[in-house]
Structure 1
Amino acid sequence: MTLTAYPVEALLVVDVQTAFVTGPGAVPGADRLLDRTAALIAGARAGGALVVHVQNDGPPGADCEPHTPGWELHHRVEPGPAEVVIRKVRDDSFEGTSLNGLLTDAGVRSLAVCGMMSEMCVQATARTALARGYRVVLPYDAHATHDIPAAPGIADAVPAATVSRVAAWALSREADTTIPASAVTFTSPPARSHPGPS
């Protein structure tokens, strides 16, 4: 289902970390993804929206193991009440973090999600946001993942673009997944004066 685009009050930038956008571990089309996510961040800042950078803490030896070069966020963070970093250890950015409280305290009711990986952390985060009552935009050109390798005797390889499309399609009955990053607009969240989504 195609929903009408509307201004959103927060941007979640999920796992845009050095290990996933540079070097041999970069997702296909990493430069394009970075252009789109940078534009979304700039738009959110200009519109007064809340910007949340979500940073994955991988296990020891992982490309995104905390405090290793690959773990670092690619985009510069402007510290302050309107731009924060939340660290997570699960796919879902809400699980075991302060994300929902942060959004609720700001009065956020709508948000955009971008980043990586489409079928894992991006989809899990967007699905929970929907379940908690937030309106969600998932710009189709602002999330990415890796190719799924072939499984001999089971399935052929699946290109990354197809994986991303299927991940978004699974959310399309409830979220707006058909607009590009360039069409997303932002507005300031209202003052926290009433209960938000739970």
Structure 2
Amino acid sequence: MTDTAQPVQIPPVDALIVVDVQSAFVTGAGAVPAAERLVDRTADLIARARRDGALVVHLQNDGPPGSEDEPHTPGWELHHPVEPGPLELVIRKPEDDGFRRTPLGGVLTGAGVRAVAVCGVMSEMCVQATARTALARGYRVVVPYDAHATQDVPAAPGIAGTIPAATASRVAAYALGSDAEITAPAAAVTFTAPGKA
């Protein structure tokens, strides 16, 4: 596929889960290596989900005291503006899995959601954990390969060298198995209103 080729469209999803796209992870010295691409792709997904009437859920990680995403610090703030309303909300989470100890499951069920796209950071942690639970709960799950990112995995002396962030992201998505749609680029994701996917 060339850069000018149009991606093959996939069946629409009725919810977008934007995982931890917070200032600490996409700006400044602590930003993931692919931050610019991630911000571009997630902004586009959010805009198209809003336009097409899908549910948009921004997950916001509450890091421990002293962490870069400690609540109410600059790094904790969401990078993308939120348009609060019945189809867009913020859910704070205390763990990697966006479903654990949060109302996310009830929100999706209450809206009649059947299929979700999951994007954000970090690929092998919060993105994967949230996508895995969505699969376990019976949702159709799309993880666009160019809309999630992570940091390089540090070397383990005597065991392995540094693993580049792009490789770590690909492996994290691949590890979800064949039930997740992991190869679609963000541009191929389409949206519809909840309950219609």
Question: What is the aligned partner in structure 2 of residue 67 from structure 1?
Answer: 72
Q: Is the 8 A contact 1:118 1:167 kept in 2?
A: yes
Distance in 2 (alpha carbons) for counterparts of 1:99 and 1:43: 21
| SS state at 2:118 partner | strand
Q: Which amino acid aligns with 2:31?
A: A
Map of 1:143 onto structure 2: 148
* Residues 1-198 of structure 1 aligned to structure 2 (within 5 Å): 5-190=10-195
Deviating beyond 6 angstroms after TM superposition, the runs of 4 or more aligned structure 1 residues are none
How many percent identity over aligned positions? Answer: 73
Structure 1 segments unaligned to the other structure (5+ residues): 192-198
Amino acid in the other structure paired with 2:59 = V
User: How far off its partner does 1:83 sit?
Assistant: 0.2
Which structure 2 residue ranges, 5 or more long, are not aligned?
1-8
Question: Counterpart amino acid of 1:132?
Answer: R
How big is each residue's C-alpha offset from its partner over 1:136-191, in whole Å with a ceiling of 9 and x where there is no partner?
00000000000011111111100000000000111141010011000100000139
Partners of 2:59 and 2:186 lie apart in 1 by: 18
2:13 and 2:128 map into 1 onto residues whose CA distance is: 18
Amino acid at match of 1:55: Q
- Quick check: 1:12–1:51 contact (8 Å CA) kept in 2? yes
Q: Provide the alpha-carbon RMSD of the alignment.
A: 1.0
CA–CA distance in structure 2, aligned partners of residues 62 and 10 of structure 1: 30
What is the CA–CA distance in structure 2 between the aligned matches of 1:19 and 1:136, rounded to whole Å?
26
Q: Distance in 1 between matches of 2:176 and 2:195?
A: 26
Give the TM-score taking structure 2 as reference length: 0.94
> Normalising to structure 1: TM-score of the pair?
0.93
1:59 partner letter: P
- Whether the 8 Å contact between 1:5 and 1:176 is mirrored in structure 2 is no
| Partner Cα distance (1:190, 1:157) in 2 | 43
Residue identity opposite 2:11 in structure 1? Y
Query: Which digits, 9 at most, give the CA deviation of each residue in 1:104-130, with x for residues without a partner?
Result: 000001000000000000000000000
- For 1:89 and 1:97, the matched residues in 2 are separated by 8
